[in-house]
């Protein structure tokens, strides 16, 4: 598909919501309907489509009046799409959503907005993972625990746009580019504010044993690149390989259905990285 870019001119707003999608019209509609309920006076919605070949662009057309900018073209994965959103964002803060993701509560943004005052570089909170047959509340952790892995999901974070434009996601990482980004901010002594309520309800693809192993290994590699975690290096190895050992142990003793549920519950900081 040829490149399509549509823009509704906007002034500087408080928040840019970047929605990324690829061939997922039904879930995209859910997300856009949810965003539609938020006061548009202080936000812009940016739609980054990876060149969908189904009815996705029909849904985009249906909601075009609420979308400040539409980019539809092939990309190199979800983090490339997110980078495209960063580059065109005009809000003071950025939040990311995948198709199917929503704000957790009707008044989520009413509660969050007072904290987007420029005093903190990152504002984040809890999330709810929707696995289809059940939902799991994902409690965020202190940023001081970042050495263990992601302590929140990116759908539940609001980051200063200027910081994101200077630190685009590193496309070398297929799963952990967001973790790398937040490790970078932590090493630069940027400020984080943790909120104690759910921000996002996100659709969670089946977290598999291999996914957790891949995420754990990639996050271990990433954290080793930053001096902020140097003193925790030994603990990182103990934590990571303890996690891997626990997976192996429970895989042997639990029935497969119960084991799969256990794996999903362990995926605390994991984001949906497919689209």
CATH number at residue 26: 3.90.550.10
Is the predicted pLDDT of residue 152 greater than 90, yes or no? yes
pLDDT value for 217: 82
C-beta of residue 154 within 8 angstroms of C-beta of residue 175: no
Quote the tokens at residue 215: 């995420």
Residue 274: its pLDDT value, please?
A: 47
In this prediction, residue 224 has a pLDDT band, given cuts at 50, 70 and 90, of confident
Please state, in angstroms and rounded to a whole number, the distance separating the CA atoms of residues 63 and 57.
10
pLDDT at 220: 84
207, pLDDT greater than 80: no
pLDDT of residue 13: 81
| Domains of the chain: total | 1
The answer to whether residue 97 sits within a structural domain is yes
Q: Which of 16-20, 97-101, 221-225 has the lowest mean pLDDT?
A: 221-225
Residue 80, domain member (yes or no): yes
Instruction: Identify the sign of the CA torsion 49, 50, 51, 54.
Output: negative
| pLDDT higher than 70, residue 64 | yes
In a domain, 260, yes or no: no
pLDDT bracket for residue 223 (50, 70, 90): confident
More confident residue, 269 or 220: 220
Check residue 214 and give its pLDDT: 81
Question: Is the predicted pLDDT of residue 12 greater than 60, yes or no?
Answer: no
Which of 199 and 10 is assigned the larger pLDDT?
199
User: Domain range spanning residue 165?
Assistant: 4-203
| Domain-located, residue 99 | yes
Q: Is residue 73 part of a domain?
A: yes
Position 215 confidence tier, pLDDT thresholds 50, 70, 90: confident
So what's the pLDDT on residue 40?
78
Give DSSP secondary structure letters for 227-259: GGGGGGHHHHHHHHHHHHHHHHHHHHHS-HHHH
> Does residue 190 lie within any of the structural domains?
yes
- Domain assignment present for residue 250? The answer is no
β-strand partners of 20: 48, 98
Given pLDDT bands bounded at 50, 70 and 90, which one contains residue 263?
low
Task: Tell me how far apart the terminal alpha carbons of the chain are, to the nearest angstrom.
Answer: 18
Q: Select, from the ranges 38-42, 116-120, 145-149, 220-224, the one with the highest average predicted confidence (pLDDT).
A: 116-120
Domain contains 213: no
State the average pLDDT for the chain: 85
Average pLDDT over residues 17-39: 95
Is 174's pLDDT higher than 60? yes
Percent of the chain with pLDDT over 70: 79
2 vs 221, which has greater pLDDT? 221
Higher pLDDT, 146 or 259: 146
Instruction: Report how far residue 94's alpha carbon sits from residue 43's, in angstroms, rounded to the nearest whole number.
Output: 10
Q: Minimum mean pLDDT among 152-166, 184-198, 243-257: which range?
A: 243-257
């Amino acid at each position: 598909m040829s490149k399509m870019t549509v823009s509704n001119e906007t002034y500087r707003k408080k928040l840019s919501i970047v929605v990324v999608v690829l061939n997922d019209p039904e879930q995209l509609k859910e997300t856009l309907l949810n965003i539609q309920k938020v006061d548009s006076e202080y936000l812009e919605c940016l739609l980054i489509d990876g060149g969908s070949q189904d009815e996705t662009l029909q849904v985009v057309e249906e909601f075009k009046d609420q979308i400040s900018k539409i980019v539809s073209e092939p990309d190199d994965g979800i983090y490339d799409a997110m980078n495209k959103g960063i580059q065109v964002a005009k809000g003071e803060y950025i939040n990311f959503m995948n198709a199917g993701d929503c704000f957790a509560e009707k008044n989520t943004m009413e509660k969050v907005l007072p904290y987007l005052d420029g005093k903190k570089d990152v504002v984040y909170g809890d999330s709810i993972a929707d696995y289809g047959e059940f939902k799991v509340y994902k409690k965020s952790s202190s940023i001081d625990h970042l050495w263990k892995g992601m302590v929140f999901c990116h759908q539940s974070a609001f980051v200063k746009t200027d910081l994101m434009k200077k630190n685009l996601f590193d496309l070398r990482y297929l799963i952990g580019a967001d973790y790398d980004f937040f490790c970078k901010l932590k090493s630069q002594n940027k400020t984080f504010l943790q909120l104690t309520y759910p921000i996002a309800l996100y659709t969670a693809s089946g977290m598999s044993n291999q996914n957790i192993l891949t995420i754990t290994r990639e996050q271990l590699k990433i954290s080793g690149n930053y001096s902020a975690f140097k003193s925790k290096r030994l603990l990182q190895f103990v934590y990571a390989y303890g996690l891997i050992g626990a997976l192996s142990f429970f895989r042997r003793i639990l029935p497969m259905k119960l084991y799969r549920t256990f794996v999903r519950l362990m995926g605390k900081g994991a984001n949906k990285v497919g689209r």
